[in-house]
Amino acid sequence: GVSPGHVALQWTRQQGFSSIPIVGATKLSQLEDNLKVIDVLLSDEQLQRLDEASAIPLGFPGDFFKEEAVKTNLFGGFYDKVEKRNS
């Protein structure tokens, strides 16, 4: 098994380049322990379960900006042509 801390760090690492975990440590042993996360690999199923468990409703304005009519008005019909950095 792995520690909850290792799971959290690896889940963050596996989100892609849009998210980079910042590890803090006050002792060398803590840093060494955190670096062991390199040996942890979460399966797609585990990632999906963690995503679902941590999902929160965005509410306004997040939900508002996802509406098709709003995207059309904001981007003038070019929404699908804009490079998406959070994909």
Do 49 and 64 reside in the same domain of the chain?
no
Same domain, 34 and 73: no
**Count of beta carbons in the 10 Å neighbourhood of residue 10:** 21
- Residue 70 and residue 40 share a domain: no
Contact 49, 58 (CB under 8 A): no
37 and 14 in a common domain: yes
**Domain that residue 13 falls in:** 1-55
DSSP state of 27: S
For 41, list phi and psi in degrees, rounded to 5. Answer: -135, 120
One domain for residues 10 and 38: yes
Considering its fold, how many domains does the chain have in total? 2
> How many helices (DSSP H) and strands (DSSP E) are in the chain?
5, 0
User: 69 and 43 in one domain?
Assistant: no
pTM over 0.75: no
Write out the chain's pLDDT in tens, 87 residues.
899 999 999 999 998 777 788 888 999 999 999 999 999 999 999 999 999 999 988 889 988 988 999 989 998 988 888 877 654
